[in-house]
Structure 1
């Protein structure tokens, strides 16, 4: 079908229903059915075949196991790993140790920020592992899971897109190289264009700085206020009325009394180490010709590596428990409990992928991209591309899809109208794609952040949205100034000043009870 205004209906209905009803599975199913019927023009049989084709493509892709299967495997196995660590006594031991080192709520909130910055090479790894590692510490200090998931999500994609050594950098640089070649632009390589676009990626910069400020100053905004108050005053880290929490350990499982800090740190180190080694091995093996960091990153597969790392971590943890004489039936119950704790989360993730695939086939990106009119004032183009990239990424839940769709359009428009805006317009597209990814319940990074942090998806989306809008508002002002002045420095300074003013207002209004004190229990 030809892309049209009707293409917008499925994502709008899905996201609206998810936020209003807070029933994410039903909302996703509704979006799939609606999108399939629109695609098949009302033909039920054709709609069913269409959905089956999209779903099967998430299992087998070009004759091989699809990446999505490995991600689902990681999600389920992380539930198992968490349960096994609980049985080992590692969670209690680590929390007891951490409480002597991380003494205040502010310090505890900075933990997921630091972890997110350290894990700069993959957003899925950062979202899942960052939340799981930080959760015992933030739980001890009565930091709501909503705040944790926000901090985890806001230091995943923003960090990765700003770091010049990552898989994202390799993909974006390669995409920009093709755009520059296609438009006859010389004197700059794709990687150089990516590096120069970093200071103009205003949303990634402001979102990361806002997350740091939110942790350091214990800032809250909108629905996050209630979550933080409930956590600080009543010890309610997550709203129990919202249903089962993804990844929550079954507390009825017996935990060993001789647990050690190493029972948690060891599996995490194994997971991280094996993942990194496998990623390097795959990247080196897949690189033809001279080896370079960017070539290795471009040819590796972090998701497969993460799956292998998770499997090995589970086996090592299980083996350690057996050596220490842990009953086999307890380990079996822990394994089943871990899988069950992640089933709903895995279902949400899979349905979100199907929804995004259905929506993508409706041509929503092409339709929205066609709105860009070369006759518009040149000064408005950076801001317009930021808004457009935001809406496309929000609608389809894919940063890479948005990159691939809009970066070529941005390049063509800039070369035709004002070559000096080429790099800033690249930056605006990258920024908008990250903002849309942060605010969309269809985004896998958003879903994985909620899973890793142990909170329902809709709660994460609704509590993160106000913070994302603050950073986006500051970024939009920066792009308006950038377009009007032609100066990337002026745009960045404007965005930073606007963000600083917003942080000042938030600091005066945020509840900070016990922010710098040690927990009472």
Structure 2
């Protein structure tokens, strides 16, 4: 088909539809369908062409290898989890960490064994840190942020033994074929890694947050003490932060201090008589003389310990006004009724936090997540076997390195050159297959039923079916764009509008915007990689720099977007509000993006 403005229609449709639906697949589906009808403008002709693009893309040998690798890798992780590898690793590490610095260092060190996939890393490391956070009173948000910056940003930089490598190389390969580029996709990916400036920037910010950032508000008044000596209330031994170090959380900021006091108050850790399950009120409001409430630092009214007496936390009208009805008419029964002082300056924040935490005082009791990081309560009887994680991961990495050298040795003149001449798809698939077979043999010797192993493998592989559908649509859109003459049209009409020095920065900014609103690094890469490589090829921009810019932009959204599955998974595991946490980490991630943008602008003038 002769190149025309019609070749732009698929790309003009896919991005706004993806942003509107916050899903990449609908945009790609519509783009492929419309492109098919442009080529075959009849009702049945367009449908047939649509199916042809999908089916012909899936059956290509390299694409089949990608699908098998992704399915097998995800199934392998599921078998490892079923065999108690993750739970065992959690138990092994949790018992050995005694300090906050040790816990923070563990997050970084654990990257060496969990770099294969961000979700795998999160479900492995987050339960460990959650348990340590509760015991050591660490800042929950800071710990979660360090897990975040060592997940997606790190995985995109690792060129072997990850689920990302196959997908990223596949996108480059597809874009090269669309533009008639003969370079080795894996080699281009390797050479683009130094230009993934956002990953490096956010990792450095994470190091700063871990080891150099000083906690704020260290002099925040502790429970039982006010600024004026005359206003002080004698502290209760169970509630004074000085006499109970377990309550002294690391004060990242005011909200962390207050949230820690709230969690202890709700969980009843400092007064076993408190059982925060329901909320009742009455009309009196008095200043108490009983034990100190850890949330307010004020004394409370002590009544009879009879379970029938209500506990009053302010007047109901005040509560409704403060929390805007979020806890209206929700009673709190306790066995030791107490009254909280209403003139406390932190009272409004207390009620807002109480509303958020209502019913969540004991997260370990929830069926969907237990201390081992298992979801939906399905893995309560999972054994604790850390070797079932360590052995497969070490085996996979070693096999990948050895087979990479073995595969490329006949095409290279030196040891290091062999790793650049490798057929990466063959190596990744072979490594996963051998590791999977040996892992199954390992768990079979441990008396795991073969039926259970097969079921978990299939369930794990099926979790990536949405990714496989995404890939099939991307391949189809790439083929229809080629048939419509997209590259030729860009060459003749558009490439001259964008100076080569600004291709990478513009793509990075576009990708940052896109990835934040769709929450998917893979989706962003799939949308922008064909466009980016086409612009780079036609304008003469540095191909490695542009490829790095596309990968960096997608990593931004996966790290900070509230729509990212990584953010949702991490917040679920750490028991945090998704929107509140994502709003907090938006500042450091955007600073990282700003640093990356400056570096892309500078690099565009240096690397031509």
TM-score, normalised by the number of residues in structure 2 = 0.52
Q: Does 1:357 align with 2:352?
A: no
Counterpart of 2:125 in structure 1 is 134
Going from structure 1 to structure 2, the CA distance change for 1:57 and 1:132 (only over 3 Å counts) comes to: farther
- Tell me if the contact between 2:198 and 2:552 (Cα under 8 Å) persists in the aligned partners: yes
Q: CA deviation at 1:70?
A: 2.1
Equivalenced residue count is 415
- Tell me if the contact between 2:532 and 2:550 (Cα under 8 Å) persists in the aligned partners: no
Counterpart of 2:390 in structure 1 is 265
- Tell me if the contact between 2:88 and 2:385 (Cα under 8 Å) persists in the aligned partners: yes
SS in 1 for 2:553: helix
Q: Distance in 2 between matches of 1:101 and 1:31?
A: 48
Counterpart of 1:436 in structure 2 is 553
Q: CA deviation at 1:133?
A: 4.8
Deviation digits for residues 127-165 of structure 1, max 9, x if unmatched?
46644653553343356897545531111114559xxxx
SS in 2 for 1:267: helix
Counterpart of 2:423 in structure 1 is 300
TM-score, normalised by the number of residues in structure 1 = 0.59
Q: Distance in 2 between matches of 1:252 and 1:118?
A: 22
Counterpart of 1:101 in structure 2 is 96
Q: Does 1:16 align with 2:32?
A: no
Q: CA deviation at 1:289?
A: 5.2
Q: Distance in 1 between matches of 2:169 and 2:24?
A: 32
Q: CA deviation at 1:450?
A: 8.0
Q: CA deviation at 1:335?
A: 4.4
Going from structure 1 to structure 2, the CA distance change for 1:352 and 1:117 (only over 3 Å counts) comes to: same
Going from structure 1 to structure 2, the CA distance change for 1:14 and 1:406 (only over 3 Å counts) comes to: closer
CA RMSD of aligned residues (A): 5.5
Q: Distance in 2 between matches of 1:350 and 1:437?
A: 18
Q: Does 1:72 align with 2:81?
A: no
Which of 505, 514, 520 aligns to 1:383? It is 505
Going from structure 1 to structure 2, the CA distance change for 1:347 and 1:65 (only over 3 Å counts) comes to: closer
Q: Does 1:474 align with 2:595?
A: yes
Counterpart of 1:283 in structure 2 is 408
Q: Distance in 1 between matches of 2:86 and 2:30?
A: 44
Counterpart of 2:30 in structure 1 is 34
SS in 1 for 2:7: coil
Q: CA deviation at 1:61?
A: 1.3
Deviation digits for residues 177-201 of structure 1, max 9, x if unmatched?
xxxxx9xxxxxxx999987x87765
Deviation digits for residues 73-92 of structure 1, max 9, x if unmatched?
2212321221122xxxx544
Query: Which structure has the highest helix share of the two?
Result: 1
**Residues 403-418 of structure 1 mapped to structure 2, 5 A cutoff:** 406=532, 409-410=535-536, 413=539
* 66-75 or 40-49: bigger deviation: 40-49
Q: Distance in 2 between matches of 1:109 and 1:39?
A: 50
Q: Distance in 1 between matches of 2:156 and 2:391?
A: 26
Q: Distance in 2 between matches of 1:355 and 1:308?
A: 26
Q: Does 1:61 align with 2:60?
A: yes
Query: Which consecutive residues of structure 1, in runs of 5 or more, have no partner in the other structure?
Result: 19-26, 176-181, 183-189, 220-224, 415-421, 489-521
Going from structure 1 to structure 2, the CA distance change for 1:212 and 1:128 (only over 3 Å counts) comes to: same
**Residues 286-365 of structure 1 mapped to structure 2, 5 A cutoff:** 287-288=410-411, 290-301=413-424, 302-322=427-447, 328=449, 332-333=451-452, 335-337=454-456, 339-340=458-459, 343=462, 345-361=463-479, 363=481
Counterpart of 1:254 in structure 2 is 381
- Tell me if the contact between 1:270 and 1:312 (Cα under 8 Å) persists in the aligned partners: no
Q: CA deviation at 1:114?
A: 4.2
Q: CA deviation at 1:293?
A: 2.0
Counterpart of 2:198 in structure 1 is 203
Q: Distance in 2 between matches of 1:452 and 1:99?
A: 20
